[in-house]
Amino acid sequence: MSAPAPSPLAIVDAEPLPRQEEVLTEAALAFVAELHRRFTPRRDELLARRAERRAEIARTSTLDFLPETAAIRADDSWRVAACPPALQDRRVEITGPTDRKMTINALNSGAKIWLADFEDASAPTWENVVLGQINLADAYTRNIDFTDSKSGKSYALKADDELATVVMRPRGWHLNERHLQVDGEPVPGAFVDFGLYFFHNAQRLLDLGKGPYFYLPKTESHLEARLWNDVFV
């Protein structure tokens, strides 16, 4: 008997959560599965290179720039691309997890930027991963409110022009998401966080005159940055 064909979708291995069907759609899970199959082998190779680089630095005690980038460093006219208007005023930024109350308070805070953190500020429970995605999607459709069960205080969003711009922080390359698997392997948390967020919100954010902005944590080399670039394009 031949082996069954692999599922085109990322497979959820967790107890159901409220409203998970809104973010864990077949199309979104297929998108995450494609990210995993195309890019996880490179991710794994780059993680292995980290250990090699640490050993090399320990052995030689030297750090230096790449010879092939010497021309860029010598060219005073070289500039990175301009950042979009929504990110040009960075005078006040805050960061925090993406639970419902925090999402509302962060957007209402008066800060220019909110770093919506799926990494260090969030315990990587499956509930936090899924509900955080739901909360951000609800915020962009202005379908979000919260009532504190202890105090009875209610929270809602201010007018659009008063809200902070969101910069989403997915997990670093080294973290896997054991509750989402492709071909029997856990999907890197970076692809889960980025994939679900980008799939559901990118067009909506563009329609709002902003965009899907990302803070990419714990990137240790130009090759790891290049991998993110290839994911984006």
In tens, the pLDDT along 30-60 reads 999 999 999 999 999 999 999 999 999 999 9
Q: Is the dihedral of CA 15, 18, 21, 23 positive or negative?
A: negative
Nearest-10 crossing angle of helices 100-108, 126-140: 40
Q: What is the mean pLDDT of residues 150-169?
A: 93
pLDDT band of 62, cuts 50, 70, 90: confident
Question: Taking a C-beta distance cutoff of 8 angstroms, is the pair 194, 231 a contact?
Answer: yes
Place of tokens 């944590």: 217
Answer yes or no: is 207 within a domain. yes
Residue 155's domain comprises: 11-218
Q: Is the dihedral of CA 72, 76, 81, 84 positive or negative?
A: positive
Tokens of residue 66, six digits: 């790449």
Answer yes or no: is 6 within a domain. no
Question: Taking a C-beta distance cutoff of 8 angstroms, is the pair 167, 214 a contact?
Answer: yes
Rg (CA), the chain: 20
Answer yes or no: is 131 within a domain. yes
Give the residue ranges of DSSP H helices in the chain: 26-60, 70-74, 100-108, 126-140, 189-207, 222-232
Buried/exposed 194-230: b ≥16 CB within 10 Å, e otherwise: bbbbbbbbeeebeeeebbbbbebbeebeeebeebbee
| Among 227, 213, 217, CA closest to 90 | 213
DSSP code string of 160-179: GGGSPEEEEEPPPTT-EEEE
Any idea what the CATH number is for the domain that residue 66 is in? 3.20.20.360
Q: Above 80 in pLDDT, residue 72?
A: yes
Answer yes or no: is 44 within a domain. yes
How many whole angstroms separate alpha carbon 45 and alpha carbon 47? 5
Tens of pLDDT, residue by residue over 90-122, are 999 999 999 999 999 999 999 999 999 999 999
Distances (CA, A) of 52 to 57, 64, 65, 218: 9, 16, 17, 17
Answer yes or no: is 47 within a domain. yes
Name the strand (E) or helix (H) holding 11.
Answer: strand 11-12
DSSP code string of 186-221: EEEHHHHHHHHHHHHHHHHHHHTT---EE--TT--S
The CB-side HSE value for 175 (13 A sphere, CA atoms) comes to 22
Answer yes or no: is 5 within a domain. no
pLDDT-above-70 percentage for the chain: 97
Answer yes or no: is 130 within a domain. yes
Tens of pLDDT, residue by residue over 196-232, are 999 999 999 999 999 999 999 999 999 999 999 999 9
Domain count, the chain: 1
